[in-house]
Amino acid sequence: MRTVFSRLFLALALSATIVAPSVAVQESRRQDPTVYGTKTGSKYHADGCRYLRSSKIAMKLSEAKKRGLTACSKCRPGKE
């Protein structure tokens, strides 16, 4: 019986370790989502925006802002 409880405790401890980082990753993505810029444009876009052309460059929202890009008024990326 003691072995069963030991294994259960170990399984719960491992599952908490695995779940905790995924929650942190989800929060990080929500705070700094992936947006898309282009080689020549001055805007950043959400995936699937009609104004996003072939030179689709993925970057974090914080990086797009550092580069001086502004949000597309049509797709409004980062406004979830």
Whether pTM > 0.75 for this model: the answer is no
Identify any residues that bridge with 35 across adjacent strands, giving them in sequence order: 59
Do 11 and 36 lie in one domain? The reply is: no
Do 48 and 73 lie in one domain? The reply is: yes
**What pLDDT score does 49 carry?**
94
Range of the domain at 43: 32-80
Question: Which among 26, 3, 7 has a CA at the least distance from the CA of 15?
Answer: 7
**What pLDDT score does 78 carry?**
74
Number of domains making up the chain: 2
Do 27 and 60 lie in one domain? The reply is: no
pLDDT digits (tens, 9 = 90+) for 37-77: 999 999 999 999 999 877 899 999 999 999 999 999 999 99
pLDDT digits (tens, 9 = 90+) for 15-44: 655 555 565 555 555 689 999 999 999 999
Do 45 and 57 lie in one domain? The reply is: yes
